[in-house]
Structures are given as structure tokens and as C-alpha cells.
Amino acid sequence: MGSGALKCFWTVVLSLTAGMLFAIEGKMFCSLADDLQDQFSVYPPTRPPHLSACSKVVKGQPVMIRVILSKPAIRDGIADVLMDLSMRRPDGTFKNLAQDLPAIRGKCSGQGVFLSMAGATMVPEEQDPFGVYEIIAILKDRNNGTAHQTSAKLELMDAEPAEGGVMNDRELGQYLITYYNDPHPEKLLAAIRGFLELEPTLKRKKSFRPEPTLMSFSLILRQNPQLIPAAVAFTKSLQDDQAKQYMALIFNSCGAGIVEKARKDLDPATKLFLDKLAQMSDPLAMPGKVCVSGDLDMLWHAFFITGRAEPLRRMIPVLEPGEEMTISECKAKGPNPSLTKEEKVKLNRHVIRLAAEWSLKSNANNHPQVCFYLEGMLLRKQVEGEKAAETLAKIVASSKFNKKPEKKSGSDGASARK
């Protein structure tokens, strides 16, 4: 009897100790960005993710709801944390959104921080009242019975008119290359106005291609359907057919849903352009691979708007040398050499490889997200080709963001963050 009581006592003490050491914790946040999953799955485990949080939205604007967790209890190497989501409306009433969503489930060391497996995308609808909404998550650790509540507040505001004005060249460039890190969809029309005013000057340059910039505008509009009415009204106000054609390209690349929503209120000229575009492949689609130098421009614009790792993945294969003709070899043939078709292909391959290497090195030194993605791909051996991996390793090593953080023990690689 005595030993039974003692055993029971120790069981209680051990359960309490486990609960104190491994009481599940979490922090909810709301964001307009959708690149967090990539950051958690691709970054090295020692690199902290960049959280681009938001606290205000307008009707029709999608917002991502995610939870970052830590200290899950581990049983037999497995974590098992569920999550309930609810919402407190501005009038104080509650609405249950979901129950028993998977937060962390599966093999896990328990060390570091984790992005919840489940999340939600919320889109305020027309009938929703203005005011402050509180999104609440209750984390339930089924391995030790502990629970934790976290919440975030979102203010639903009356839709502000799209920002007026016209961006100059510098403002437009800054807007596009930092959007993934600091999204401001309300400035989209000011950016488009700036591009249309700059276009006559830009097109005098032999290298001018409007597609990368137009793709950026399309990606922003696709992420922010609440801007469609303002974009349609702006398009109808345009007098120039070339400008209308550009807007048709932007709408068309947003997908059938947005095209259908916009089309009913567009002017006949823009509808005609959309009809023609419907008969061809999307000119603003992100390239599946790099075949010409312009594909690199498209992929970089896609990265700067979305912050996703995929555009970088599509650049990397060209870093692996193939059969090439170097620029020196081309010059050795004379001032205006007559190259064969095969030689042109080899020269193009060489030039694209150099351009990809230069752009990756430059941007890895200016954007930590580029550096950490490349570092993570190398760490997880996701880079095919020995020479390509060597080139990326040098790029990462030379980046100013490659200062090694203090080493800590215990990491789950793809899932955890210190």
C-alpha cells in the first residue's frame, strides 16, 4: 500500500513537472503576406522569420491568421497539439470558427518555435460591421493536458480610397522591390500611374520590357481583390489604348475570377483586349524555367511581390554550367562574328548563367530573405548540380547577412526556429 501511494505521488509530481517545463505557448498574428510557410520550411533553423503583421483591414481584403508555437510536450518523439479558433465581434458576441485544427502533430523534438500547421484566411464581407474584431486561438496539448490562449485584434475600417498621386521612378522601384517585406496595396494605383507616365521614356531603351512590372501589379491585385472596383474605374478613365491594353494584361493575369468580376464594368475597348488575351497563354505568367535573360527579371519581380522561395528555385538550375561559349571566345571570332545556331545557344547559356549568378549575389547581399532561402536550400541539399551548389555556397558566404547566430542545441530543421 505504501509503495502504491508513493508511486501515485511521483506520478502526480512528474505530470506537474512536465506541465511546468512543457506548457504549450503560442502567439497569434495577422498578416497580409503569405510567405511564412516558406520561411519556416526553407530557412535554416537558426534564422528567425520576418513577421509582416497587420492590424487593420478593409472589406474584401484577405488576411492570413497564423499562430507561432513553442514548448509542445513530446511523448514517444511525437507532438500532438490541437487548436480551436473563435472570433469576438465588435458588439462583444462570439462566433466559433473551427475546432480541433492541427497545430503541431507528428515527429518533433519540441525545441525551437513552430508555425501552426493549420491557419485561416479571413475575408471581411460587405455585411460585417466596422469595428475591432478579436481572433482567439486556444492551443490544446493532448500529450500533457495543458492549454494556452492567444489572440490578435483586427480593426475593420471603412474602405479608404486608393491612394492618389503618381509615383516617380525611384518611388516605383522602391515600392516594387520591398513589397514582400512591407506590403501597401493601397498604393497600387499610384504605382500604376507612375509606370504609365514613365512608359514613353522607358520604351526608348532597347532593353525595356513592360512584362515584369505589369506582372508585379497583377500579383498585388490578385492578392487584394478589394482593389478591383478602383482599378476598373481607373481603367475606364484612361484615354490611351496602350494604357488600356496594359490594364487588360494586369486583369487577365489575375485569373478567371477577377476577370469575371472586373469585366462587367469595364469599357468596350478593354473588354476587347481581354477577349484577345483569353485566346493565348498568359504573357505575364511566371516562367517555369530560365531560358532568356528576361525570365530572370520576371522571377525577381515575382519574388519581390510574394516573398516566396519558388522564384529563386527556378533560377538556380542555370547556375550549373553546360556547353557554353564564353564572351571571350565570342570576341575572338572578330568584331561582328557570324555565329551558328548552336554557338548562339551556347553563348546565351553562358550569359544567362553569369546574369543569374550576379543577380543572386547582389540580392542576397541586399535582402536577408534571399540569403536565408539560399542558405536553407543548401542545408537541406535541395540544390541539384555540384557547381550550382558551390556557386550558391560562395554567394551565401559573401552575404553581409551571413553572420552566424549563437549556436543553440536541439533543432527540428525544417519546422523549428530558435
According to the model, what pLDDT value does residue 406 have?
52
Report the predicted TM-score, pTM, of the whole model to 2 decimal places. 0.86
pLDDT average, residue stretch 327-334: 84
User: pLDDT band at residue 414, thresholds of 50, 70 and 90?
Assistant: very low
Q: Among 134-148, 262-276, 348-362, 392-406, whose mean pLDDT is lowest?
A: 392-406
Digit-coded pLDDT (tens) for 138-188:
999 999 999 999 999 999 998 765 667 899 999 999 999 999 999 999 999
pLDDT average, residue stretch 92-98: 94
Digit-coded pLDDT (tens) for 380-402:
999 999 999 999 999 999 999 98
Residues 6+ apart with CB under 8 A from 28: 65, 66, 67, 135, 136, 137, 150, 151, 152
User: pLDDT band at residue 405, thresholds of 50, 70 and 90?
Assistant: low
Distance CA 416, CA 116 (A): 11
The domain ranges of the chain are 23-157, 169-277, 293-398
Q: For residue 412, is pLDDT > 70?
A: no
Digit-coded pLDDT (tens) for 146-160:
999 999 999 999 876
Q: For residue 23, is pLDDT > 50?
A: yes
Distance CA 161, CA 313 (A): 37
More confident residue, 79 or 322: 79
DSSP string across 232-287 = HHHHHH---HHHHHHHHHHHHHT-HHHHHHHHTTS-HHHHHHHHHHTTS--TTSPP
> Quick one: fold of 23-157?
Immunoglobulin-like (2.60.40)
Q: Among 52-61, 249-258, 400-409, whose mean pLDDT is lowest?
A: 400-409
User: pLDDT band at residue 10, thresholds of 50, 70 and 90?
Assistant: very low
Distance CA 249, CA 257 (A): 15
According to the model, what pLDDT value does residue 163 have?
64
Distance CA 401, CA 396 (A): 8
Closest CA to 138 of 77, 69, 75: 69
According to the model, what pLDDT value does residue 22 have?
54
According to the model, what pLDDT value does residue 339 have?
87
More confident residue, 160 or 30: 30
Q: For residue 72, is pLDDT > 50?
A: yes
